[in-house]
Amino acid sequence: MIQFDFTGKTVLITGGSRGIGKSCAQLFAGANANVVITYKSAKAEAEKIVRELGTPGLHAAFALDVAQPSMIESVWQKILQQYNSIDILVNNAGIFTEHKILETDFRRWQDAWQQTLATNLVGVSNLCFFAARHMKEKGGGKIVNISSRGAFRGEPDHPAYGASKAGLNAMSQSLAIALAPHNISVGVIAPGFVETDMAKEYLEGEEGERIKRQSPLNRVASPEEVARAVAVFASNGTEFMTGGIIDVNGASYLRS
C-alpha cells in the first residue's frame, strides 16, 4: 500500500459527505492533513464524518452548493479565515441526472442541462478561480478535478453529465498550462462506475452485473481506489503530471 504524508497541508474536498469525497477525506486525514469538506444538504452525515476523522478542531465541514457562485466566494473566505491556507483543492461534488433525449420533455431537458453544467463544470471553474489566486499568492498548490470515463465514451442517458465532464477535462488542461508557471498543478481523475450512493441504484438493479462485467476485473471501483489516485496527484513530487488525466476504470474503457 502506498504511504502518503500530507502533514501541514490543508485539503478542501467538495462533496465530502459520502462516496469518493468521504474516502478522500479519510485518506488525507489519515495522512496528517487538515481536512475541510463541503456538503450541499447532508449536514448530519458531514458532521459525523468530521468527528470520525479525529482531533477535534483540526477538520471541518461547510455547507456549500457549488452551483451558487456567491456561496462559493463566501465559503472560500470563511475557510481561509479558519485555516489561513488551502494547499490542495479536490473538486468532487457533482450530479448525475437521467434525461434521455427521446423520452424527456423540453422543460426537463433544459433543467437537466442547466443544473448539471452549473454544478459539474461552472461550479468547478469558480472554485478553481479562487484557488488559483490564493495558490499563486502562497507559492503553489494542487487542484484535482474528478471527471468520468463518460467524458470519453459518451453518456446516452445522461448527455449533460458526459458533456460537463468533457468540458471539465478541457478546462483542467487549459488551467494546467496557465498555472504551471506559478507552481500550481491541475490534474484530473476519471473513474468509471464506483461503489457509491450515486451509483447504487444502477449497481443493485438489473443492469448491475452487466456493468461489473464491463471490466475484466468483473467489478467496479471502490471509493478508496479513486481516493488513492487523487492522493498520488496531490502529493509532492508529482508536479510533472500536471495536465494529465488518470483513468480509474478497471480497463472497462480504453482510450487512445
Number of domains present in the structure of the chain: 1
Q: How far apart are CA 62 and CA 47, in angstroms?
A: 9
Q: What is the pLDDT of residues 104-130, one digit of tens each?
A: 999 999 999 999 999 999 999 999 999
Quickly state the pLDDT bin for 250 (edges 50, 70, 90): very high
Q: What is the pLDDT of residues 54-65, one digit of tens each?
A: 888 899 999 999
Quickly state the pLDDT bin for 86 (edges 50, 70, 90): very high
Q: Is residue 203 part of a domain?
A: yes
Q: Span 21-44, mean pLDDT?
A: 97
pTM comes to 0.96
Residues facing 245 on adjacent strands: 188
What residues are annotated to the active site? 161
pLDDT reported for residue 206 = 81
Beta strand pairing call for 88-91 and 184-191: unpaired
Q: Is residue 82 part of a domain?
A: yes
Q: Span 208-231, mean pLDDT?
A: 95
| Percent of the chain whose predicted confidence (pLDDT) is above 70 | 100
pLDDT reported for residue 80 = 97
CATH number for position 76: 3.40.50.720
| Percent of the chain whose predicted confidence (pLDDT) is above 90 | 92
Q: Is residue 97 part of a domain?
A: yes
φ, ψ of residue 171 to 5 degrees: the values are -60, -45
- Cell numbers at 177, concatenated: 498550462
Q: What is the pLDDT of residues 181-190, one digit of tens each?
A: 999 999 999 9
CB 98 within 8 A of CB 145: no
46: nearest Cα among 31, 64, 70 = 64
Q: Is residue 220 part of a domain?
A: yes
What is the domain extent for residue 98?
A: 10-246
Q: Is residue 251 part of a domain?
A: no
Q: H or E segment at 160?
A: helix 159-179
